[in-house]
Amino acid sequence: MSALVLDGRKIGDQIRHELRPRIETMVQVGHVPGLAVVLVGENPASDIYVRNKVKASEELGIRSFQYTPPASTSTEELLGLIHSLNGNPEVDGILVQMPLPEQIDAQKILFAVDPAKDADGFHPLNVGNLVANRPAPRSCTPAGIMELLKRNKIPIKGQNAVVVGRSDIVGKPISLLLLHQSATVTICHSRTTDLEGECRRADILVAALGRPAFITRDFIKPGAVVIDVGINRVVDPIAVAQLFGHDQSRLAAFSKNGSVIVGDVDPRAMAEVSSAYTPVPGGVGPLTIAMLMANTVTLAEQHCNYAALR
């Protein structure tokens, strides 16, 4: 029996469809949800991410505010922009695209965002709410993973979940979200002893380490659910042939573009050994943007209710 492909595009479309009537309700009472996106300097990858986020906002009817300060911007100058957005009633959500230039104190910037406008779920207050399992914006990629599991009716309660990667953006928050759903969670990282053995115990394996195809067949328990968060660009023809020798469409894409995208898990092993898996691309990625939209809409609803009570 072939593995179930966990289609992030399909689930993302479902989430956006569910958001539309909520947005229309707010518009009817005179409030258009607004998302401010701040991109400092020029970073081609970040620029693509921001364009996709802005496009998704506009397609849903969310007002988009774009700010592109130069790469020379100081921490103080960027703090001034954040404070102005915090005070702007037309802005419901604020997203500061990472990474920031080296001279900017990224922690200061993230901490300066009003927690009630924290569309990314990165503010310490919202992280604390995540730990306490209280309502608050959740980090978008982990929230998307949970939607993917829930909507595909994949059991979590009592399952062994192994998360490879301990970042504040994915590894830590997805571990907490799985824990809140009564999974038994192990967090692995670069210092883990016997990483292969730890991964092979997983009923749910989340790979978020940023190394192309690092998780091989030997890491995957037969029948496990594999969530591949990685997005890595591979340009070496030999590596591409090893990874995609079975996939003529990906080889053709490499011949055309000179590169191909691969996750943190060997794609062929993932498809052949797992019971369900997220493809790369088309798995977790589309859900990250969908959950950013969901966070923004929820924050806007809260702001509408607050205004109504005043």
Enzyme catalytic residues: 53, 97, 120
Residue 310 CB contacts under 8 Å (≥ 6 apart), including other chains: none
* H runs (alpha helix) in 61-185: 75-86, 106-112, 124-131, 140-151, 171-180
Q: Residue 19: what are its φ and ψ, rounded to 5°?
A: -75, -30
- Nearest-angstrom CA–CA distance, 3 and 218: 17
DSSP conformation class of 24 = H
Q: In the block, which residue shows the tokens 């910037």?
A: 109
3-state secondary structure 22-89: HHHHHHHCCCCCEEEEECCCCCHHHHHHHHHHHHHHHHHCCEEEEECCCCCCCHHHHHHHHHHHHCCC
Q: Round to whole Å and give the CA distance between 165 and 172.
A: 8
Which amino acid makes up residue 132? A
